[in-house]
Structure 1
Amino acid sequence: MPDYWARHDPSRLALRTADRAIAFDAFDRITNQVAHLIAAGPTVPGGFVGFLGKNSPDLYFALFGAAKTRSGMVIYNWRLSPGEIAAQVADSQAHMVIVERDSETLWQAALALMAEPPETLWIDADDTLEASAAGQPDTRPAIAVEHDDVAFQLYTSGTTGEPKGVMFSHAAINAMRLCEHLEPAYDWQDGDSFINGLPNFHLLHIGIALQCIYNGVAIDIVRQFDPAAMLDAIGARRPTLLTLTPTMLQILLDHPAAQTADFSSLRLTLYAGSPISLGLIKRAIAYMPCRFMQFYGSTEAGGAIALLRPEEHDLSDEERLKSCGRPLPLVAMRIVDAADRDVPDGESGELLIRQPSITKGYWRRPAMTAEAIRHGWYRTGDIARRDADGLFYIVDRAKDMIVSGGENIYSSEVESALSTHAAIASVAVIGVPDPRWGECVKALVILREGHVVTEPDLIAHCRAHLAGYKVPKSIEFRESFPLVPSGKISKKDLRAPYWAGHGRGVA
C-alpha cells in the first residue's frame, strides 16, 4: 500500500502528528529501512515481531516494515498486567518486541516472568524506530511475501473468555478492501483525514488505519484516547473522518469542552465495537453536524460485516436506529436456531457470517478454530434478528442474555429503554441470582452530572417502555464501569460479585 502511493502520488499525506507531516514517499522509504532493521535481528520469515506502545508513526513503520520481511506484527495491549503480557508473548513466540520506554516498567516485569525472553528493541520520543533504522538501505528487501502469510495478529479482548491470537493474512486484508471498494457508502475524497485515537491493539484501530492507507487517506495520530486531547485535536487539525466506540463517543460528548468544541470539519463519524443505545445515537446526531455510519463487525471477521448507512440514520425512525444495517458486498449473514436451522424474519437466533476476510484462525488453537468456524461460517456468539426489510438487529451477546423464569431477556433491550431517560449517562444491564426465577434483571447506571433520580423513578420509566418481566428488579448507581481494553463495558467483571458462590460462570 505505501509503495503504491509512493509511486503514484508521492507527496500525498500519509501520517500526521501534532508537529509533523509524513508523505507517502517518506512513509514507504522509512518502512523499507525498518524492514532491513528487523531482518537483521533474530526474527525469521513467517514468525512474529511484537509491538508494545501507544499510537505513533513508529507503530505504522513497524507494521509495514515487518510485513516486508514476511513477519507478522503482534500488537500487545499496554494496559495489561505483566503476567498477561508475558503469557501473550510466550504464546505468540515473538523473537523481537519493539517497546516504548513509556512501557518500560511493565515490560521489565513481564520479562522477569518469561522463560525465553525475546530481544527488546527500545524506542522513545528521541530514539524512535525511524531513527534506529536510519542507517539501513531505503530499498525494499528482496523477500517474497505470500498472500497467505500472516500480516498481523491481535489478541481478543477477553470479554468471553481466554484471550486468543487472531491471525490475519495479506489475502484477507486485501479481500476486506475489495468488500469496501464495492460498497458505495464508503465515500473517500481527496483531502480526507482520519483522526485516530483508538487503542492500537484493537481491530477497530488497525482495520480503519489500513482502510485509510489503502485509499490514500491521511491518518491524524493521537497517542491514546482522551476526550480533552481528542477535542483539541479535532479543533486544531480539522479532520474529516472520526471513528469511536459508543463508550468513547459518550465520554467525548460528556466532556465539558464538548459544549464549545468545533466539530464542523467532520463530514462522517463511524461508530462500532459494541451496540449503541438509542439515547446516545439520538444525542450524537442532534449534537454533531455530520453524517453517521455504524458498522458491525468482530475481530475474527477481519473488519466490517454490516453497515447502517448514513441515509438510514433517521431521527424520525427510532426502530431503524437500533439496527446494525445490512451486510457489505461479498458478505453473507445467517440467523440460526440451536440446530443450525435458519429462522424466519423477526425471530432471534445466533448470527453466522461468511466473508472473504475471515481470520485464518486462532494461533496454535486448531480445536478452537474448528469450533468457531464451521463449513466457512463464523459463529459470532451474537443473538440477532432480521426484519422484513433485510435490516439486521443485534439483540444481545449470547452470554449476556438473561434467562428469568424461562423467559429470554436481552440486556441490550433494557439498556436501550433506560438510555432514553434524561438523567442517565451510561447503563449496563446484567442478570443476577434470584431464588425464585433463577436470575433476574439488574441495571447499573451512571447519572449525568447535576442530575438526580431515584430507583423507583427509573423502574417506572422502564415499565412505560418494556414488558413487565423485562423491567429491572433493582437498580444500582455507579460512578464508573470496568472496561475491557477495547472500550467495551466488562459485564464479566460486573457480574462476578453477584454470582460468587452460585456456581455459574460469569465470562
Structure 2
Amino acid sequence: MTAAGTELYQGAYQPQILVHALSYDLDRPLIYVGEQVISARAFRDLVSQYLQALQSLGLGRGAKIGVLASNRPEVLCITSACLLGEFVLVPLHPLGSLDDHSYLIADSAMDALVIDAPAFAERGAALAELAPTLKLLTLGPARSGTDLAALATRMQPAPLIAPQTNGDEPYRLSYSGGTTGKPKAVVGTHRIGIAVLNIQLAEWEWPSQIRQLMCAPLSHAGAAMFLPTLLRGGSLVILPGFDPIRVMEAIQKHRITCALLVPTMIYALLDHPRLGDFDLSSLETIFYGASAMSPTRLREGIQRLGPIFFQFYGQVEAPMTVCVLRRAEHDVDSPERLASCGRPVPWVQVDLLDDEMRPVPHGEPGEICVRGTLVMSGYHQRPEQTAEAFAGGWLHTGDVAIRDPQGFLRIVDRKKDMIVTGGFNVYPREVEDVLGSHPAVSANAVIGIPDAHWGEAVTAVVVLRHGMEPCADELRALVRERKGSVQTPKSIFFVDALPLTPVGKPDKKALRAHYGNPQQKAAAA
C-alpha cells in the first residue's frame, strides 16, 4: 500500500481524541480539587506547558517517563503530555516499596521520573541514587531533582497538535501485579488504548451528566476514566487518595454521579459507622473491578446504596473491558450471579479452554482466553513469557471460570492459586465466598500453605467486622456444610487487615510467605 493509501485509512487514536475533546466547550469546569476549579481551557494550557517542559529537558519520542505521585491534576497533565509527545508512560504505584520502584526503573530502562514532591521527595532522592542516569523531576521544590512544575509555568501555552501515530506504537508500560513472581511490563500500544476507550463508551453505563469522583490512583486504573469523562462533557472531582469520610463528603458536596472503586474501598464504606450520615443519593453508577467481590458484601452494597453497581473485568494484559456485569444484571436473589464477572463484550473473542486448548461445556471450569484488539502486544523484553501467554493463538488470562446457560462467567479462581490438598483440587474463591457470607466476616483470603500430610493445607486469613469476636469453629462448620470437608480450612488466622497489592487485591504471595512460616502456623485458630 502506498503512503497516501496508508494515511487514507489512518484511524484516530488517543492523542487525536484528546486534542479533539480539548477543542470545544473550553470554559466548562473540568477538574475540582479541594477549592480549586480547573476549566477545560486551563487544563489544555497546562498540558501544553508540561509537554514543552519535558521536551526542553531533552526528552523525545520513545523516552520512558515514570510517574510517582498521589492523585493531583498534574498527573493527568503529564499523562496527556506523554500521549502528545510520543513518550512512553511508566506508572509507579504510590504504595510500592523502594525495591519495587527501583526494579521497575531498571527493568523499563526509564529515562525520567516525575515525583510528587510533598509526598515522595525522599523516595525520589533514594531512587535517583540507585539510578544515576535517571532524570529526577519534581512537582514542587525538593532537595533533589529539577522542579518540573516551576519549569512548566515558564512555558507559553501553545495549540495542542496530535502526532501521527499507528496502532502498534507503544504509549505505556504497565506492570503486572507480580503476585507469583517479579512484575512483568505489559506493552500497551495505541491499538489497545483506543480499544479500551471505544468499549467503555459503547458498553459501560455512564450517567447522563458525569460528575466523576476519582480516589483510585490516577497513575493506574483511574486514568482510564479521564477520556470518557472528557468526551462526554463531564467533570472530575479528584481526591488525593481513598478515605471513607472524604469520599462520602465529596459525593454529598459535589453531587457525584459515578465513581471507580475497588472492592476493599466498597467494604470500607459499608463498614463505616457514618455511612448513613451522608446524602449519597446522587450516585448513579459505582464502577468496580480489579479483584473479586464477596457476593454477600455486594448484596449488602445494593441493599444500602441501591442498584448502582457496574462490574468490569480485565487484566493488565487485556485491560478493564473483557466482560461487564451491568447494573440490572446484579440479581440480589442469585449468589451465583453476584459472583459473576459478567458476560464478554462483543468487541473481543472470549472462550473457556481446557489444558488441551479445547472449549469446555457449560458448567465446567476452563481458563478464560481472549483474542482481539484489546490484547497486549507482549511483555517487555520477555519473549518466552510472551509466547507462553499467547499459546495456541489466545491470551491465557490465568483465570479459571464457569459459564452458565445465559453466558455469564463466574471466576472460580486464578489457575496459579488453586490448592491441591490430599489429592483434591480446591479453588480458594469458592471457600472465600462461603466465609464472606458469615455475618462476622468483613473480608478474607484463602491460600494453600505447604503441609507434610496434605501437600497443601487450606488456610484462611480473616478480617472481622467491628466488634465481632473470633469464631473459627463456626467458620469451619459453615464451609464444611456448604462445600465439604476437603474445602474446610485447616487453619484460620484473624487479622486487622489483609495486605493488598498495588491494585487493591489481597496479596496472596505475601500471605503465603508469612503464614507458610512454621512459627506462624502455630498461632492459627
Give the TM-score normalised by the residue count of structure 1.
Answer: 0.92
Which consecutive unaligned segments of at least 5 residues does structure 1 have? Answer: 502-507
* Residue 273 (structure 1) aligned with residue 290 (structure 2): yes
Match of 2:366 among 349, 354, 372: 349
Structure 2 partner of 1:187: 206
* Residue 124 (structure 1) aligned with residue 124 (structure 2): no
Residues 436 and 199 of structure 1, relative CA distance in 2, 3 Å threshold: same
Residues 463 and 83 of structure 1, relative CA distance in 2, 3 Å threshold: closer
State the distance in 1 between where 2:422 and 2:497 align: 30
Alignment of 1:314-463 (within 5 A): 314-374=331-391, 376-463=393-480
Residues 161 and 217 of structure 1, relative CA distance in 2, 3 Å threshold: farther
State the distance in 2 between where 1:312 and 1:98 align: 42
How far did residue 229 of structure 1 move? 2.1
On the 8 A contact 2:307/2:327 being kept in 1, the answer is no
State the distance in 1 between where 2:161 and 2:324 align: 40
Alignment of 1:303-322 (within 5 A): 303-322=320-339
Residues 404 and 83 of structure 1, relative CA distance in 2, 3 Å threshold: closer
How far did residue 181 of structure 1 move? 3.2
Match of 2:235 among 218, 221, 233: 218
On the 8 A contact 2:124/2:136 being kept in 1, the answer is no
Comparing 2-11 and 332-341, the one that deviates more: 2-11
2:230 partner letter = I
Match of 2:215 among 191, 197, 215: 197
How far did residue 312 of structure 1 move? 0.8
1:168 partner letter = G
* Residue 248 (structure 1) aligned with residue 265 (structure 2): yes
Runs of 4+ that moved beyond 6 A: 125-128
On the 8 A contact 2:205/2:326 being kept in 1, the answer is no
How far did residue 172 of structure 1 move? 1.6
1:284 partner SS: helix
Question: Structure 1, residues 466-506: CA drift from partner, whole Å, max 9, x if none?
Answer: 223212223221122111111111111111134358xxxxx
On the 8 A contact 2:75/2:219 being kept in 1, the answer is no
State the distance in 2 between where 1:106 and 1:439 align: 39
Residues 354 and 14 of structure 1, relative CA distance in 2, 3 Å threshold: farther
Residues 490 and 172 of structure 1, relative CA distance in 2, 3 Å threshold: same
Residues 366 and 244 of structure 1, relative CA distance in 2, 3 Å threshold: same
2:90 partner letter = V
1:25 partner SS: helix
2:85 partner SS: coil
Residues 143 and 43 of structure 1, relative CA distance in 2, 3 Å threshold: farther
Structure 2 partner of 1:81: 97
* Aligned-residue identity in percent: 33
Comparing 49-58 and 4-13, the one that deviates more: 4-13
Report the number of matched residues.
Answer: 497
Structure 1 partner of 2:197: 177
Question: Structure 1, residues 257-284: CA drift from partner, whole Å, max 9, x if none?
Answer: 2232321110111110111111110111
Question: Structure 1, residues 68-115: CA drift from partner, whole Å, max 9, x if none?
Answer: 11112111123223232222112222222211112011111122212x
Structure 1 partner of 2:7: none
Structure 2 partner of 1:39: 55
Structure 2 partner of 1:134: 153
How far did residue 431 of structure 1 move? 1.4
* Residue 70 (structure 1) aligned with residue 86 (structure 2): yes
Structure 2 partner of 1:505: none
1:250 partner letter = Y
Residues 187 and 84 of structure 1, relative CA distance in 2, 3 Å threshold: closer
Match of 2:492 among 461, 475, 485: 475
Residues 128 and 6 of structure 1, relative CA distance in 2, 3 Å threshold: farther
Question: Structure 1, residues 118-167: CA drift from partner, whole Å, max 9, x if none?
Answer: 22221139998555313323224667341232222222221122112222
1:156 partner letter = S
Residues 83 and 457 of structure 1, relative CA distance in 2, 3 Å threshold: closer
1:95 partner letter = D
* Residue 152 (structure 1) aligned with residue 195 (structure 2): no
How far did residue 417 of structure 1 move? 0.7
Question: Structure 1, residues 205-258: CA drift from partner, whole Å, max 9, x if none?
Answer: 222233323433322111111222222222222210011111111122222222
Question: Structure 1, residues 382-420: CA drift from partner, whole Å, max 9, x if none?
Answer: 111111111111110112111112221111111101111
* Residue 25 (structure 1) aligned with residue 61 (structure 2): no
How far did residue 34 of structure 1 move? 1.3
Give the TM-score normalised by the residue count of structure 2.
Answer: 0.89
Structure 2 partner of 1:487: 504
Residues 128 and 19 of structure 1, relative CA distance in 2, 3 Å threshold: farther
Q: CA RMSD in A?
A: 2.2
On the 8 A contact 2:431/2:487 being kept in 1, the answer is yes
